């Protein structure tokens, strides 16, 4: 298995860093503990702007004009205008389970369904799920970069519907960032990490990862 080399580590601006998105200039970090979106300058790691975004936040994506935010247990995606802080739109994803990572490929929003072990390709124009791809259960952060989907995932967990919890299949927890083909979900590469990244974002050719339990944001390069 390939590895990710963490080049720099920074304290997250909040207590529960999850989704990450790059808008071409700033890095956005959603924080579930504070219900806040933070706009960060990656050169200084200073917080440029914050605004409240109520709900159990998870994945974050940038579509060129708006941020999209998945609400972990609320079954919908929220569109946010960062200039006005207005919530401009919402897409209902009822009965799709807990939502985690979120990514934009230029036309479709991709959302992680943790319980179902699926990637949902959502067309914002029609508000319909265009197709689904199978992924490991309990998937975390997600981004689209250079023609591929990049997913933080545990290896391997199952979901117990009675107790509403994920359980490890193996005795030793393992995690990876998976590079996936968006056409069929085929795994193109796998990079070992020692935590589950709940946020992933490519920025200027470097991969950023959020470590929720450690309250850290990591910058990494592939090896």
- Domains by residue range for the chain, with CATH: 2-222 (2.130.10.10)
Would you give per-residue pLDDT tens digits along the chain (223 residues)?
Answer: 787 899 999 999 999 999 999 999 999 999 999 999 999 999 999 999 999 998 999 999 999 999 999 999 898 999 999 988 888 889 999 999 999 999 999 999 999 999 999 999 999 999 999 999 999 999 999 999 999 999 999 999 998 999 889 999 988 999 999 999 999 999 999 999 999 999 999 999 999 999 999 999 999 998 7
Distance CA 102, CA 122 (A): 10
For residues 19 and 36, the answer to whether their CB atoms sit within 8 Å is: no
Distance CA 115, CA 127 (A): 21
What pLDDT is recorded for position 8? 97
For residue 129, which of 88, 92, 103, 86 has the smallest C-alpha distance? 92
Distance CA 118, CA 42 (A): 31
Distance CA 100, CA 141 (A): 7
């Amino acid at each position: 298995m390939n590895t990710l080399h963490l080049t720099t580590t920074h304290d997250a601006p909040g207590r529960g860093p999850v989704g990450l998105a790059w808008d071409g200039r700033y890095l956005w970090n959603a924080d579930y503990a504070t219900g806040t979106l933070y706009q960060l300058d990656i050169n200084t790691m200073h917080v440029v702007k914050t605004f409240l975004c109520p709900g159990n936040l998870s994945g974050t994506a940038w579509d060129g004009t708006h941020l999209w935010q998945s609400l972990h247990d609320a079954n919908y995606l929220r569109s946010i205008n960062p200039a006005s802080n207005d919530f401009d739109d919402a897409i209902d994803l009822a009965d799709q389970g807990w939502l985690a990572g979120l990514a934009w490929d230029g036309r479709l929003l991709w959302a992680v369904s943790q319980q179902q072990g699926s990637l949902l390709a959502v067309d914002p124009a029609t508000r319909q799920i265009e197709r689904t791809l199978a992924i490991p259960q309990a998937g975390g952060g997600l981004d689209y970069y250079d023609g591929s989907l990049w997913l933080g995932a545990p290896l391997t967990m199952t979901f117990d519907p009675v107790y509403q919890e994920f359980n490890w299949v193996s005795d030793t927890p393992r995690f990876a960032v998976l590079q996936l083909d968006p056409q069929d979900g085929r795994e193109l590469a796998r990079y070992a990490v020692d935590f589950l990244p709940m946020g992933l974002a490519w920025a200027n050719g470097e991969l950023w990862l959020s470590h929720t339990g450690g309250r850290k944001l990591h910058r990494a390069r592939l090896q």
